[in-house]
Chain A
Amino acid sequence: MVASSRRTVSVQADNPRPDTGRVPLRPAAEVMDLERLGSLHACRLSFIRTLMRKVMAERWGIQRQRFDLDEHGHGTCIYRVASPTRIYNLVIFAQHLDPEERSDRVIANAWDVAFALCLGDVDETYLERLRENVPRQEAGRCDPRVLVLSRANRSLRNFESTVSALASGEQPDPDQLARVGYLYRTTAVYGNGKFGIADYPRIRDSEDFGLPFSAQMFSVYLLRDFSIRQVEHVARCRAPQTAVALAPALQRYLGIGNSTGLGMAPFLINHPQLINQWVLMRESAIARCLGEVPTRETRARMVELIDRAIAHNAETSTDDPRQAACNARLGEELVEARDWLERTAIPEGMLWQALLDWSREHWSLETQEVINSLLMELYPERVDPLEESMGATESQDLVPEMSTADLLARLRRDYDWALAYDFDDPEQKHLFWYRSADKEEPRLGERGVDPGEEWQMAVDIARQTRELYDALAAWQERRGRPTTLVEFLLAEPRFKGIARRVQTLSEHAYGDIRANLLAKGTLPIHLLRCKLAFFGATKFDPRSDRWVRITMFQGAPLIEDIGMHFADDWWLPLKPQDAELG
């Protein structure tokens, strides 16, 4: 009987189920709540953390092989990368951009820089081919030697003020860099076969970029170095006699920005097995850490990390009222968390679980999830091996022999959250998602107000689930008994997609985000934040409920740091103090 059977959280067959020790995983009902996913923070398993560990451990060789820029910083730059197994080149084209054309939207047609990560070396012939296509981005055509295609725009505020400061022999104002911690913002980073570039399976089995999004993140990491070298170059051209280099502490403090809109949201709905894998590994890491018995050192380290999180949060600014309130509350609650940790008399063996329980009862979702991320910092030996299992082979196969009664039982067991919505209530189907003819940009419309309802995207999992449930129940009633699913689908083929999804995700508890994305008041930004946190983003700065700016690689080692001692402790960087600026 399905309804009474034990629910398991499984992983794909080629990934072992992680051992989590004595602590059970958090239930999907808790973890996959949309607002909680929208409160996630980066952690040790975030992709940029994993990437930096790899690059530093394997001592990748990175050279600026070509740096042909004019006095405005326009021109061509090539980074040559030697991993232990392959040679790659990142080719960057920097060009003049009319300020009126500068836009972070995917519908933009021109950018300050466009770049491509290529497999192997790049000769002049190939460079010209790239020059013809890469700056055009979606309008160009690339070939399978290109692994990643991307573009970025300058942060006007920071770029010009940093050039001015360096040209006059000064360092830029750290306070300003704390407000916006980057010189460039990427607006899309394409992989997996887009516009003719290499399909993901080409690199999936490679030792260098086999983990999700690692090639994309690496390209962004190199862009960060370019942004620093370019700003120094322009300053030197402007004032050769007085210009100074950017202080290393400020170089490390600079990251790369990213502007993300609704385009990211459908990914989370359309790749449930991958999402399950990411969340499962994160939850496994948390469970492993909760099972550890703290020592005096780990307890002190946790206090130290909380203090750093408090300081980092204080240096995080946003104009968005909701996020600003969340940040303010986070700051207050982290102080409470530190105090709780310092004064609690709970026995050591139960301390971390008690902290988690206390946070659940008293603190916001943001605070709970920051504490989880901090906890992971204490036990890298328990967490880091999980990074190897962040990938997933995605395939949803029908189980046609399943009985309709069994599927109904699974729906009641696993999709109770979806069946709880009343879709007769107009507020529960207030919104619809669609793709615009303008570069296929995903957008949100209001039903009955905006055009395009008939072409809505199928991200309405809760509603589809409800319709499947009702159709199965009616089918059984008509037939007088359960049948196999295939018999139902031969009569009602329109339910094949959702039936297969339900069957597949019945074994992947963290695959479906438990929310009705059509409901009035839905905040799509939660979806974006979830994915960005797994990337390793910090400094979440929502610009509306539909797009957000973030920072990546802030605090990460520089290219020059590769080969040096690496503490892997660069997350939550703090603004450099005057003494660090020389």
Chain B
Amino acid sequence: MHVSLNEFTLVCRRALDSLGFPAGDFEDAADMVVWLEQHGLGGAQLLGEILPRLQDNHWPSLQRHHDDGGCVVLEMDNGSLLNGGSLAADLACIRAMETGLGIVRLQGCLDRSFILGYLARCARRGHHIAALWCTGQPRRAVQNVGVALAFDRLPVLHRFRADGGGEQEADTATLTLFASRDFAMLPATPPDHPSIELLECVTSQQFDARARRAWDQGIDVDEALWRALHELARRKLVADSATSRARGAG
């Protein structure tokens, strides 16, 4: 199914609204999904994979386990980053403003890749922010590092092997957000570093080219997902009737 970005954004917003995401959060969550899709990182497919889970009644709220001013640990209890993850990034930025450095660790956090879209928004507001998370199986994990510099429009993404060749067990359930006030963080590992294998590097220029292509040509979305999103969106539509047709708009 070939659709425009605006169509995809609207249907995502309405679907997440129907699922019960709070006002403000359903827009942010949908925008994070669309950002990933627009920038070539498969946001639509990821949403399709997690949609059944999002329709469950399990909606854990963020629990604060630790807070020493500069470092905050939040427990998400296997909740989706889409639900509340953007506020966690905001919290990291604030702590950085207050103390110079803000670290927020989201434990038990699913769907962590979506944070990339929100990093760009934090950067737009003048924050340096990075996100680190591991994906895959603990002994075959990939470390993802997204970095957005203040006022830059787009982040960069690096992906590394993070399992020490199968010798180490990576934490694949935590997202770490790292915001700084007085210095900017840059991806630093050279591609030929002996101990770390760089799998992928997406520069902001590459992200920009992908975004422009999506604006120009639209995107392809799986038809089943498209139907599912529309089905969800329709939940907030009111059944038509002769009275409604006549009284409601005539």
Q: Interface stretch among B142-150, B184-192, B239-247?
A: B239-247
Interface string of A370-396 (1 = CB under 8 A from B): 000000000000000000000000010
Q: Which chain A positions have C-beta within 8 A of B224?
A: none
Interface residue tally for chain A (C-beta within 8 Å): 56
In the complex, the answer to whether B6 meets A493 with C-beta atoms within 8 Å is no
Q: Which chain A positions have C-beta within 8 A of B247?
A: 445-446, 450
Interface string of A344-377 (1 = CB under 8 A from B): 0000000000000000000000000000000000
In the complex, the answer to whether B249 meets A261 with C-beta atoms within 8 Å is yes
Interface-centre pick from B28, B237, B240, B241 (highest chain A CB count, 10 A): B237
Query: Is A201 close to B, CB under 8 A?
Result: yes
Q: How far is the CA of A192 from the CA of B7 in the complex (A)?
A: 9
In the complex, the answer to whether B218 meets A196 with C-beta atoms within 8 Å is yes
In the complex, the answer to whether A455 meets B249 with C-beta atoms within 8 Å is no
Interface-centre pick from B23, B97, B125, B218 (highest chain A CB count, 10 A): B23
In the complex, the answer to whether B248 meets A490 with C-beta atoms within 8 Å is no
Nearest 4 pairs of A and B residues by beta carbon: A443-B248, A496-B24, A193-B6, A497-B24
Q: What residue in chain B is nearest A457 (Cβ atoms)? A: B236
In the complex, the answer to whether A436 meets B240 with C-beta atoms within 8 Å is yes
Q: Interface stretch among B39-47, B84-92, B198-206?
A: B84-92
Query: Is B3 close to A, CB under 8 A?
Result: yes
In the complex, the answer to whether A547 meets B248 with C-beta atoms within 8 Å is no
- For the A-B complex with A441-B248, A490-B62, A546-B250 known, give 8 more contacts whose Cβ atoms are closer than 8 Å: A193-B5, A261-B249, A436-B238, A443-B244, A450-B243, A451-B238, A495-B24, A497-B25
Given the interface pairs A144-B4, A546-B250, the reply to whether A494 lies near B237 with Cβ below 8 Å is no
In the complex, the answer to whether B22 meets A493 with C-beta atoms within 8 Å is yes
Query: Is A143 close to B, CB under 8 A?
Result: yes
Query: Is B121 close to A, CB under 8 A?
Result: yes
29 pairs of residues in contact across A and B, judged by CB atoms under 8 Å: A143-B2, A193-B5, A193-B6, A195-B7, A196-B2, A196-B3, A198-B4, A199-B5, A199-B215, A199-B218, A200-B6, A399-B125, A401-B97, A436-B245, A437-B238, A438-B244, A443-B248, A451-B244, A486-B90, A490-B84, A493-B24, A496-B22, A496-B23, A497-B23, A498-B23, A500-B24, A546-B250, A547-B249, A547-B250
Interface magnitude class on chain B: 35 or more
Q: Which chain A positions have C-beta within 8 A of B140?
A: none
Q: What residue in chain A is nearest B23 (Cβ atoms)? A: A497
Query: Is A440 close to B, CB under 8 A?
Result: yes
Given the interface pairs A202-B215, A400-B94, A546-B250, the reply to whether A455 lies near B4 with Cβ below 8 Å is no
Query: Is B124 close to A, CB under 8 A?
Result: yes
Query: Is B119 close to A, CB under 8 A?
Result: no
Q: How far is the CA of A437 from the CA of B27 in the complex (A)?
A: 22
In the complex, the answer to whether B25 meets A496 with C-beta atoms within 8 Å is yes
Q: How far is the CA of A498 from the CA of B22 in the complex (A)?
A: 11
Q: How far is the CA of A497 from the CA of B28 in the complex (A)?
A: 10
Given the interface pairs A436-B237, A493-B25, the reply to whether A442 lies near B249 with Cβ below 8 Å is yes
Query: Is A312 close to B, CB under 8 A?
Result: no
Which residues does B use to contact A, with CB under 8 Å? 2-7, 22-25, 27-28, 62, 84, 87, 90-91, 93-94, 97, 121, 124-125, 215-218, 234-241, 243-245, 247-250
Q: What residue in chain A is nearest B1 (Cβ atoms)? A: A141
User: Which of B5, B28, B90 is in CB contact (< 8 Å) with A400?
Assistant: B90
Q: How far is the CA of A540 from the CA of B24 in the complex (A)?
A: 36
Q: Which chain B positions have C-beta within 8 A of A226?
A: none
Q: What residue in chain A is nearest B2 (Cβ atoms)? A: A196
How many contacts between A and B, using CB within 8 angstroms? 147
B interface secondary structure, majority: helix
Interface string of A529-566 (1 = CB under 8 A from B): 00000000000000010110000000000000000000
In the complex, the answer to whether A455 meets B6 with C-beta atoms within 8 Å is no
Q: Please give the distance in Å from A255's CB to the nearest CB on chain B.
A: 25
Q: Which chain A positions have C-beta within 8 A of B125?
A: 397, 399
In the complex, the answer to whether B6 meets A451 with C-beta atoms within 8 Å is no
Q: What residue in chain A is nearest B88 (Cβ atoms)? A: A490
Given the interface pairs A196-B2, A544-B250, the reply to whether A437 lies near B237 with Cβ below 8 Å is yes
Q: What residue in chain A is nearest B237 (Cβ atoms)? A: A437
In the complex, the answer to whether B245 meets A437 with C-beta atoms within 8 Å is no
Q: Which chain A positions have C-beta within 8 A of B62?
A: 490
Q: What residue in chain B is nearest A263 (Cβ atoms)? A: B249
User: Which of B24, B87, B236, B237 is in CB contact (< 8 Å) with A498?
Assistant: B24
Q: What residue in chain B is nearest A438 (Cβ atoms)? A: B240
Query: Is A517 close to B, CB under 8 A?
Result: no
Q: Please give the distance in Å from B59's CB to the nearest CB on chain A.
A: 11
Q: How far is the CA of A201 from the CA of B24 in the complex (A)?
A: 23
In the complex, the answer to whether A436 meets B4 with C-beta atoms within 8 Å is no
In the complex, the answer to whether B240 meets A201 with C-beta atoms within 8 Å is no
Query: Is A489 close to B, CB under 8 A?
Result: yes
In the complex, the answer to whether A441 meets B249 with C-beta atoms within 8 Å is yes
Q: Please give the distance in Å from B238's CB to the nearest CB on chain A.
A: 3
Q: How far is the CA of A297 from the CA of B91 in the complex (A)?
A: 62
User: Which of A144, A497, A547 is in CB contact (< 8 Å) with B216?
Assistant: A144
